[in-house]
Structure 1
């Protein structure tokens, strides 16, 4: 097992988010929305697609193209890739000079979602972690889609986040029917009703709050910010609606076995879990940094200095039961008899990369 984090992994591992959905569902719209909002938050995205032409990334976001890579005006990077080159492309995007904060893979044409997830989770680079499967559903045509492509049910069943998109094109009664279909296929998934695939990027990956726009700026707006102004007439606050972030804090150490159970089987509606954990176990009193999405768990170990050991975990999703989440984590606080479980720490250590 690995020891304390080294300088090579000082930055948090970059989440690799898989975006899937059938033609016309809104995947490209979601990609463009994430790219437009990235510049305003100081976030740098890496996007992997099969073909620039088929994805049709907004022309005004593109500043230069060479050797299968496009540099975007907001500092993001877009690359063409096939299944064989996926691992190499991911590793290239997390090189130190790229300074990428998150990577989004557009699944069409590369592989079936399940196969693509396997490929992403098989990449052993410690600078990367699986960031979840986001499945975009065309709510206006879901019945015809399921009839023509029965495999869509299997896709939704393994998704970590489902966007019920184009909700403005159907009635409220029809929308409720679509939500019921999603709930039947994937009872525990975090599902969000969207128009134009507009979601808060903070649901998918961490935003650098220090790069916010509270302070006055001088000079011209970047092209992505102009696009954001053009397409967003209702203010920024609505982007933060629709999901919850529940924070749990404890100065008492946690039991690793019960915490591992919580991370591997997250609460209904939970998309991801992140934070730091304190275990008061001999040889394992370091700071454990955890990232979990859809039952995929990634753990690293670091020094507590200069802060005092404690636990702080955040569960992010939609429709979360705050009381149930807090109760389950409260139940994970270590008890005196837990000290006799000498192998309990293995539940967490198996998620630490070699």
Structure 2
């Protein structure tokens, strides 16, 4: 993808986001009903959550009944086309006292992490979501739970702490119409006694053995220009300054020559996941103080971690690394041949410097 093509692509994403934000959606609003209900259980699916203290990483099982699979036919025109049932979001998060979309509450009133939001949708509706020119069906499948013909569903959600919490927010499980479909009959909630303190299932915080912003503009383009986000897992993280961090798994450096391996998965995505690229498990090959950084990256512009291939990303000056000395601000230069095309376009300018941290002996 050329620089011009990338600008067109980003322009399309931005235009679509702006257009959708201003759309006066036609909403099929159902009359409030008492049939839609949710019950929340611990991870075994049978023990009611009650007042149990839930920590980050704990699994909750949500069982719903009475959710009309034919409702919510209008809202945002993507990813579900108008006229097709949009389904229902099931979310763990911190919601403001006035959180209901049907009452005009903004999205900012519903603080969640995407991994803690499931999407109940009838299989027949999912089959009508387009796969070209963007695979919008994949976008839903990442969160999908089947909404059965009798209006029931079962969703497993792992509790996580949102980054920004609205004033007066209450933690809980919430359901509401998906993709801009306002339906007060499906707006339900169950309070959860949630503690942000680590628990037995809380993932370990990602180490900062490799710290890299990728490029000076990477975080801004992904999160602001393309209206998306960047997330880390399995040993990777994103720090408050937008740096990508990875955990070292091995190093056999001797006199500035050897190999350093890291683990972790970073996923950068645009609004509606029209673009989604992964940066996974970096490896730095070092010879006489000259390093080559490779990563496993997505094979297409929007398949995330579905399929990966290893690509050399950058040359790195590691002349001072020796047998494993800390390196601050190592100069890096992007290599040609980076894939997929969106990542290549994001690599056309200067690369950000790297920091490598080693344990002190």
Q: Shared fold by TM > 0.5?
A: no
Larger Rg: 2
How would you bin the TM-score normalised by the shorter chain? under 0.3
Structure showing greater relative contact order (alpha-carbon pairs closer than 8 Å, 6 or more residues apart): 1
TM-score (norm 2): 0.26
TM-score (norm 1): 0.26
Q: Which has the higher strand share?
A: 2
